[in-house]
């Protein structure tokens, strides 16, 4: 009779121990998988380097200089978007022609944003827009070494909202 009363607490203890063991093994297994994946990624990178593959990380350098040079084109973006606007092809063609007419000069891509909202998020969006334009110009055939990104700038004054969502491209010495 006393043995029957002991089964309830015994089952509860074993259930709790089973759940704890399951969680512990899950945690240890997850950590082991993460470690193995990290080692496999490092080994794959070393193998690619040993095989002569060139792995280049894009280094983003933003120049902080005054706006100089001839304005080659301006693209106006939609609010909260870094996707190229619908009329981008014509503007990019004009920019490419201006850059090709001045072969020794740099092509400076400048993103703008307004002062409302979070300044860090606005600057990041302006930078992403400038990177979109730079990528499109590279795809159009301009040499990446000539393309320079300028640090995002906040617009001032009371202009149209579209002026705060623009990317200007200048051909500068």
For residue range 122-131, list pLDDT tens digits in order.
Answer: 999 999 999 9
Residue-wise pLDDT for 33-84, tens only, equals: 777 666 665 555 554 444 444 434 355 677 777 878 899 999 999 988 999 9
What was the pLDDT predicted at 68? Answer: 86
Of residues 167 and 55, more confidence is placed in: 167
**Longest alpha-carbon distance in the chain:** 101
CATH code of the region 62-172: 3.30.1330.60
163 has a pLDDT exceeding 70: yes
In this prediction, residue 54 carries a pLDDT of 43
Sheet order of strands, 147-154 included: 62-63, 147-154, 106-113, 166-172, 70-76
Q: Any idea which residue has 């973006």 for tokens?
A: 77
Which of 21-30, 39-48, 50-59, 145-154 tops mean pLDDT? 145-154
Dihedral pair phi/psi, residue 152, rounded to 5° = -55, 145
- For residue 77, give the nearest of 171, 168, 10, 170 by alpha carbon: 168
Mean pLDDT of the chain: 81
pLDDT, position 31: 73
Task: Dump pLDDT digits (tens) for 101-130.
Answer: 999 899 999 999 888 888 899 999 999 999
| Per-residue pLDDT at 168 | 94
């Amino acid at each position: 009779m006393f043995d029957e009363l002991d089964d309830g607490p015994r089952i509860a203890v074993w259930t709790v121990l089973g759940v704890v063991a399951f969680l512990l093994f899950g945690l240890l297994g997850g950590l082991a998988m993460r470690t193995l994946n990290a080692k496999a990624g490092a080994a794959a990178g070393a193998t690619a380097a040993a095989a002569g593959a060139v792995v280049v990380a894009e280094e983003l350098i933003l120049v902080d200089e005054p706006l100089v040079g001839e304005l080659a084109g301006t693209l106006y973006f939609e609010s909260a978007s870094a996707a190229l606007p619908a009329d981008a092809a014509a503007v990019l063609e004009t920019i490419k022609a201006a850059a090709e007419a001045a072969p020794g000069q740099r092509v400076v891509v400048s993103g703008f944003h307004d002062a409302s909202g979070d300044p860090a998020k606005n600057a990041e969006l302006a930078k992403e827009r400038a990177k979109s334009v730079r990528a499109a110009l590279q795809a159009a055939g301009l040499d990446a070494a000539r393309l320079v990104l300028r640090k995002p700038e906040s617009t001032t004054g009371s202009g149209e909202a579209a002026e705060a969502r623009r990317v200007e491209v200048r051909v500068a010495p």
